[in-house]
Every structure is written in structure tokens, then in C-alpha cells.
Amino acid sequence: MEATDEGDARTLGWLRGVCLAFPEAEETSLQDRPLFVVRRRRFALFNGVTSPSRPRWAGSGRSVHLLTDPEERAALAADDRFVASPHHGDRGWVAVPPDAIAPDELAELVEAAYRVAAPRSLVARLDQVG
């Protein structure tokens, strides 16, 4: 995707559709970036090329930042597409450019992030729907 408002809008629209389909998921913001939470626990964040400039985010470009499943962290760290996120990379968050990964694979990672953040009762609800 090109580095424009339109590219950000397409990526963010897709990410909203995935995240907000989960039980009790909500959108808020962190440092003027869309943040997705479940019961105040963060699981996904979007950084666009048009997001406000902040030193912490310099060089991130258009990227999706995700909380990772502890069992998957080593595999993701070994994959060049993923880097430690400036948003708590030391706590298992990764960043990936959305054009570097297939949408279905990214959707699976977003769901895994939700499952890590959500309470068991909401994960059970998600499992009943799917």
C-alpha cells in the first residue's frame, strides 16, 4: 500500500473490522494512534504513516502492533517480518508492516493477541461463535 491517508484508511478499516468483531473489543487511542482493547487490556495498535510524529514511533511506518502469545514469541522473533514494537516490545509486543504479511495470517495473529488479553469467559464466547 502506498504511504498516504488512503493507505492508512484501508489498513485501519481492515484492522477495525477484525478487532471489533471480538466480544467486548473496543477502540480507543494511545499517543494519537488507534488502540484496540478488551476490558481495558490492550491487544492491538495501528501506527500509520500519517500518524503524529513522536520519537518513540520513528521508523515504524505503517504497522500493526500486537500482543503475542508467550508460546509464539520465539517463532515470531525468528521471522524477519516482525520486530519488537516500540509499544512494550520488551513485554512481548511485535510490529509488522501489513503489506509484509497475508491478511489471513495477520487476522490469526490479531485473534491470538485478543485471546491473550481477554478474560477466559470472553475467549469461551468467541469459541462458541466460531
Instruction: Assign residue 27 the CATH number of its domain.
Output: 3.90.1150.30
Average pLDDT over residues 68-97: 92
Mean per-residue pLDDT of the chain: 91
What is the count of structural domains for the chain? Answer: 1
pLDDT at position 1, please? Answer: 36
Percent of the chain with pLDDT over 70: 96
pLDDT top residue among 3 and 27: 27
Residue 12 lies in a domain: yes
Residue 130 lies in a domain: no
pLDDT top residue among 35 and 87: 35
Residue 57 lies in a domain: yes
pLDDT top residue among 47 and 54: 47
Structural domain including 84 reads 5-125
pLDDT at position 89, please? Answer: 81
Tell whether pTM > 0.85: yes
> How many CB atoms within 10 Å of residue 97?
17
Distance CA 118, CA 116 (A): 6
Q: Which spans in the chain are helix H?
A: 5-19, 73-77, 103-117, 120-129
pLDDT at position 129, please? Answer: 77
Average pLDDT over residues 71-89: 91
The pLDDT-based confidence of 130 (bands split at 50, 70, 90) is low
Residue that has been written with the C-alpha cell 514511533 in this structure: 57
